A and B are shown apart, each in its own frame.
Chain A
Amino acid sequence: NAGVTQTPKFRVLKTGQSMTLLCAQDMNHEYMYWYRQDPGMGLRLIHYSVGEGTTAKGEVPDGYNVSRLKKQNFLLGLESAAPSQTSVYFCASSYYRPANYGYTFGSGTRLTVV
């Protein structure tokens, strides 16, 4: 099993450009999450999904959109990138409620907005 796969691994965007980050998991996990990680800020939840076709806002959702059209995929979109969105983005998934199983993380996407 590949676990949680994130693509791309690195990306440089110009301010105002758009892009989509893809997260794919092959573990039949129900719950999926997008976090950003910045120095000194820890992991901050952007959006999450508790099942196919569902999404919910996390702690820092502004400037991002998500979609969960298929159970195995969770897409994070930046409609108009800003330098403040320079960060490392992590996707995670959980079989069911994370209270029972915790998360499995992807290896991250390093995004730089210039």
Chain B
Amino acid sequence: GESVGLHLPTLSVQEGDNSIINCAYSNSASDYFIWYKQESGKGPQFIIDIRSNMDKRQGQRVTVLLNKTVKHLSLQIAATQPGDSAVYFCAESPGRFNTGANSKLTFGKGITLSVRP
């Protein structure tokens, strides 16, 4: 069935290092991908998104890479800071032209990023 999964449940990185969080998806029709960050006690917050017609998109300290050949999505965080400690979710949408029952995101289970001082 369709699923969005994360390779590792936890990731520990040293402050200042770069972090890479990976995500696999199985729906080849997926058209739109989003990374969310969820801090403790809060709701998920949008970080960055990418459409299937792109391979890479950069934001402030974050980069999302999309490899459609192997259905793989990754989030890179440069110079990881203590404030980056959170759970990160990838999400995918089946396509911008779907409506009704398909108008919802599918989420991965989440990976915890822990930043060591």
Contact = CB atoms under 8 A, between A and B. Distances in A.
A42 B106 CA distance: 10
A97 B32 CA distance: 11
B108 A98 contact: no
Contacts of A31: 103
Interface residues of A, number: 26
Contacts, number: 68
A90 to B, nearest CB: 5
A27 interface: no
Interface stretch (B11-19, B64-72, B78-86, B92-100): B92-100
List the 8 shortest-distance A-B pairs measured between CB atoms, nearest first: A105-B43, A42-B109, A99-B96, A99-B93, A43-B107, A99-B32, A102-B34, A107-B43
Interface of A: 4, 31, 33, 40-43, 45, 48, 50, 56, 58, 90, 92, 94, 97-100, 102-108
